[in-house]
Amino acid sequence: MAELISGKTLAAKLKAEAAAEAAELREKGVHARLAVVIVGENPASRTYVAGKAKDCAECGLLSDVIALPEETTEAALLEKIAALNADKTVHGVLVQLPLPGHIREKRVIDAISPDKDVDGFTPVNVGRMVIGEECFLPCTPAGCIEMLKSTGVPIAGKDAVVIGRSNIVGKPAALLLTANNATVTLCHSKTRDLKAKCAAADIIVAAIGKAGFVTADMVKEGAVVIDVGINRNAEGKLCGDVDFAPVAEKAAYITPVPGGVGLMTRAMLMKNTVKAARLQSGL
Ligand code: NDP
């Protein structure tokens, strides 16, 4: 039976570290501050943004939630971002995705100052991550790596399969695993023999967005399984991309949903915001 990798415990530890560092900065006159911009009424996005503000309060960070109406133009949003980039009291700038259809996400992300890009989504930060330079790592994949490391099972030399190649999860997860010396197979909807590839993997990172997609027959005995997915099952209950109970019978370690990667994503955002404050204040 797999051991649970608790996002709750690990995220609490990371948040405590962020809080301690934020307190140190405050003593030196710097109050770390995150600005979160949200456009429109998407209820899930509203919940995520509220969670980020709550995390900031818990860690002793200031936060501003800038809620703009659905009909906000791209130009107005870009203007807002430019103002936040220029505001020296704001250290982290984040735009909650998805944006309404009339706004080009890429234009908006590109407009965020790389120094304040605490989501790690701008091309500059992505490029730095690819070449292994100091940067803001994207929160979800960085959280996955923390969870893997917490098991004590070395990542180096392991065969890892990442399912999903989105820019925010799958691709950076594959890059970070490679940086940690795993041998990585990045799978997607056009991958052949996905089941066999997964069944040979020591580490599986599932980021597909389909409830129960990873079944027990796809998992090697003793594998480490990281479930990024956030879905609703037929009964409306929150669940991941992994068929949890049967896979937990075979895996050595597994992350739960809820209580797994999602909490780590939030904690990594706190770490990145404090780091941004430290770097911008030259401390
Ligand atoms: P995307 O929809 O952007 O990407 C999904 C990926 O899964 C794509 O690369 C797609 O392949 C691949 N895929 C879809 N169907 C299959 C299939 N049958 N076989 C193999 N691959 C397949 O999703 P995200 O990366 O944004 O999110 C993935 C999941 O993670 C979602 O449930 C999301 O809610 C969750 N999530 C959780 C976060 C957290 O903090 N825990 C943060 C962000 C996301 P292709 O590229 O070929 O289309």
Check whether 166 is labelled as a binding-site residue.
yes
Asked if 232 and 198 sit in the same domain, the reply is: yes
Identify whether 245 is part of a domain.
yes
Mean pLDDT per 10-residue interval, the chain, length 283 residues = 97 98 98 98 95 98 98 98 98 98 98 98 98 97 98 98 98 98 98 98 98 98 98 93 98 98 98 98 92
In a domain, 91, yes or no: yes
Q: Are 243 and 176 in the same domain? A: yes
pTM of the model: 0.97
Q: Binding site annotation covers 232? A: no
Question: Is the same domain home to 107 and 144?
Answer: no
Ligand 1 atom 17: the closest Cα is on which residue?
189
How far, in whole angstroms, is CA 276 from its chain's centroid?
16
In a domain, 43, yes or no: yes
pLDDT at 234: 87
Which residues line ligand 1 at a C-beta cut-off of 6 Å? 140, 163-166, 168-170, 187-191, 194, 207-210, 228-231, 261-262, 265
Atom of ligand 1 nearest to the CA of 143: 40
Query: Per the domain annotation, does 268 fall within a domain?
Result: no
Co-location of 101 and 143 in the same domain: no
Ligand 1 pocket check: which of 139, 140, 165, 166 to mutate, most ligand atoms within 8 Å of Cβ? 166
Question: How many C-alpha atoms does 176 have within 13 Å on its Cβ side?
Answer: 27
Q: Give the closest residue (by CA) to ligand 1 atom 25.
A: 166
C-alpha 230/C-alpha 48 separation (Å) is: 12
Going by CA atoms, what residue is nearest to atom 3 of ligand 1? Answer: 166
Whether residues 86 and 166 share a domain: the answer is no
Is 16 within the bounds of a domain? no
**Domain assignment of residue 104, yes or no:** yes
Q: Where residue 46 sits, what CATH number does that domain have?
A: 3.40.50.10860
Q: Do 144 and 250 belong together in one domain?
A: yes
Minimal-distance CA residue to ligand 1 atom 48: 189
Whose alpha carbon is nearest atom 42 of ligand 1? 140
Same domain, 69 and 181: no
Domain boundary among 78, 113, 148: 113
Same domain, 222 and 152: yes
113 is in an annotated binding site: no
The DSSP bridge pattern shows strands 238-239 and 231-232 to be antiparallel
Asked if 221 and 158 sit in the same domain, the reply is yes
Residue 206 burial (CB < 10 Å; 0-12/13-18/19+)? Answer: buried
Whole-angstrom distance, CA of residue 183 vs CA of residue 171: 14
Q: How far is CA 118 from CA 80, 114, 122, 225, 233, in A?
A: 17, 8, 9, 26, 31
**Mutation test residue for ligand 1: of 204, 230, 238, 257, the one with most atoms within 8 Å of CB:** 230
Tokens of 197: 């590839």
Same domain, yes or no: 230 and 164: yes
Residues annotated as part of the active site = 52, 96, 119
Residue 165 among known ligand-binding residues: yes
Residue 130 included in any domain: no
Beta bridge partners of 37: 66, 95
Mutational pocket test of ligand 1: of 145, 169, 193, the residue with most ligand atoms within 8 Å of the beta carbon: 169
The partner residues of 254 in beta bridges, in order of sequence, read 4, 225
Domain count, the chain: 2
d(CA 36, CA 116): 11
Predicted local distance difference test score (pLDDT) of residue 132:
95
CATH value at residue 249? 3.40.50.720
Give the pLDDT of residue 283. 87
- Residue 171 resides in a domain: yes
The residue range of the domain holding 190 is 139-262
Q: What is the pLDDT of residue 39?
A: 98
- 108 and 54 in one domain? yes
Q: Are residues 35 and 83 in the same domain?
A: yes
**φ and ψ at residue 195, rounded to 5 degrees:** -60, -45
